[in-house]
Structure 1
Amino acid sequence: MQAFAWMGAGMSRASLFTHLLLALVAGLLVWVFQDARMAAAVAEVQLQASDYRLQVTEEKRSSDRRTYQTAQAIHLSYQEALNDSLKEQARLAGAAAAAQRNAGRLRDQLRDADVRIATASAAAVRDYAATANQLLGQCSDRYTELAAKADGHALDARTCRAAWPVMALDP
């Protein structure tokens, strides 16, 4: 205290109080400045998180849109294949009916041939012709059945291939 004796006791207390007050004000200012820095850092992190959420949302929307478009393309492809199959089935049914009519005419011709052979001379020729007619008739029926089954199978195979989804890869 002797060092402060020349200033006087009142003066040293005021000076000490002023220094303490200045230190307190400086500490408060530092506190406010650090709080502002921390608030700015928190706001920056919140902005980055918001940007990230926005990016994820946009990517999800884009993915959902591509998924929807792919599903629509698959559905349209399936529907087109099904419609084509129905048209082809109708065409094949018409062809099968025409084949049945032709087979009926062939049977009639074979029956007429039986009558002609029956009035012919030799019994062996009649037996041979009758047997040949029966055989040809059976062959015609079986061929028509087989053709209808083969056409149906080919149509089913084409329908499956046409309806099978093909994924286009995005570049």
Structure 2
Amino acid sequence: MSEISLTVNGKRVSGTAEDRTLLVHFLRENLGLTGTHVGCDTSQCGACVIHVDGKAVKSCTMLAVQASGSSVVTIEGLADGADLHPMQAAFKEHHGLQCGFCTPGMIMTATDMVNRHPEGLDEATVRAELEGNICRCTGYHNIVKAILAASETMSSKGKARQAA
């Protein structure tokens, strides 16, 4: 067993886990953060994507002990209080979810994508960068629409247009 201490959604947390415990299982079972889903345990589906130190990570590919000392944001911590994050709001507005199983991972991947492309995104980039996330309901058209809408809101281009 190892002691794990990290910041999750802005709060310092600690716990113990076996050295082989995946971060996704530590979040769900030790911390009760069940918004991060376990889809395949082989990094193929993207349902478990979270942010570790500001970057999207498939939490089924990282051991909890590897995350010790890191800052982690899960889908539960993405929103600012009662207000949805712009990406969450765009998924809601543009019907970017069906069964919802892939949605947390899609939103976390998409948020990272927008953060890495502050000038904005185009459809080809969104579709290419979603390659590691699977939607079993095949809702990709609306997912892409939602990401593009959120990108417009979140990007430097969208912020400049709003300020004008």
TM-score range, shorter chain: under 0.3
Q: Which has the higher contact order (CA 8 A, sep 6+)?
A: 1
Bigger CA radius of gyration: 1
The structure with more strand, counted as a fraction of residues: 2
